[in-house]
Amino acid sequence: MTQPRCAPATSTATGFARYDRIISERTALPAWRGTGHDRHYEADLDLLGSILTIPVSEGASTQSGLLGKGLDAWFAHEFRRAGFDPDRIWPRAQEPRVLPSDVAALLAALPKTIAVDLRARLTRMPRVAPQDATILGRAYVKQVDVVMSSWRTGPEILLSPKSQSSSYGNNLSNRFEETYGDAGNLRARYPLAAVGFAFVVSTSIADTPAQLAKAIDMMRKQAARPRRRQRLHRHNAPRLRATRRGNDRRAGSDSGRSRCQPLHGDHP
């Protein structure tokens, strides 16, 4: 990774805007290399280094959110580099950061003066164009950092980048407990969506080899978990059969009762 460059002009901005200039001025590099079976995606890690320069040089804590916004902006940019529809990837490269692609298409089709006015109005309407994407899961609503979605398809990509720079012994397990719960919550409601988790740690974790090994092991388990969960669901979930005969309940007779029973094996 080359020496990252910082963009001082963005220092007065906040949130995602802190990284807009770095990303927009980055020379576009091909995301896909090779041909045929050798074709592969190559991440722009030099750009990531430039982005991380800002929170690191300012000594920003994880709680400040500055590092998290930078990671979200980079991952969203990489999805766009890889060829995904820019207007369906959130956070978007400009305000509003979260905007349905159908509304973005409307803005593109309007006359310029009307589009400028409408875009300005949308930034003041958080219920229509919020700063963050909140997704309804099976059990609870979850803020998801990087999303690909549309009204027509619903969520297709749900990515949660996490970071940790210290206190690995105390908080590492908590990070992965949260991740397991969030993944189950989202995957249960959107089984066809790609649910991802990215974990960024400081090089200081190498000072505690046991914690580094634990983090690697838990990431591998997290990657393998969806396939195992699908197998268990397919083989072990009971099938229910409900039979109702008539609307009246005749005393002493089973023919008019509602019956619900699990079916296993070769049961009809």
Rounded Cα distance between 32 and 44, Å, is 11
The pTM of the whole model exceeds 0.85? no
The reported pLDDT for the residue numbered 172 is: 83
Rounded Cα distance between 188 and 186, Å, is 5
Q: Which two tokens stand for residue 41?
A: 């995606």
The reported pLDDT for the residue numbered 225 is: 59
268 residues of the chain, pLDDT tens digit each: 444 443 344 445 678 999 999 999 998 889 999 999 999 999 999 999 999 999 988 887 777 889 999 999 999 999 999 999 998 999 999 888 999 888 999 999 999 999 999 988 988 888 888 888 999 999 999 999 999 998 889 999 999 998 887 788 778 888 888 888 999 999 999 999 999 989 888 888 888 899 999 888 888 887 775 554 444 444 444 443 444 444 444 444 444 443 333 334 344 3
Type of residue at 198: A
The reported pLDDT for the residue numbered 236 is: 45
Contacts of 50 (CB under 8 A, 6+ apart): 4, 5, 6, 7, 22, 26
The reported pLDDT for the residue numbered 58 is: 86
Rounded Cα distance between 149 and 85, Å, is 10
The reported pLDDT for the residue numbered 238 is: 44
Q: What is the 3-state secondary structure (H, E, C) of the chain?
A: CCCCCCCHHHCCCCHHHHHHHHHHHCCCCCCEECCHHHCEECCCHHHHHHHHHHHHHCCCCHHHCHHHHHHHHHHHHHHHHCCCCHHHEECCCCCCCCCCHHHHHHHHHCCHHHHHHHHHHHCCCCCCCCCCEEEECCCCEEEECEEECCCCCCCCEEEEEEEECCCHHHHHHHHHHHHHHHHHHHHHHCCCCEEEEEEEECHHHHHCHHHHHHHHHHHHHHHHHHHHHHHHHHHHCCEEEEECCCCCCCCCCCCCCCEEEEECCCCC
What are the distances in angstroms from CA 68 to CA 82, 130, 194, 229? 21, 17, 21, 29
Planar angle of CA 216, 23, 30, nearest 5 degrees: 75
Task: Classify the C-alpha dihedral 60-10-104-106 as positive or negative.
Answer: positive
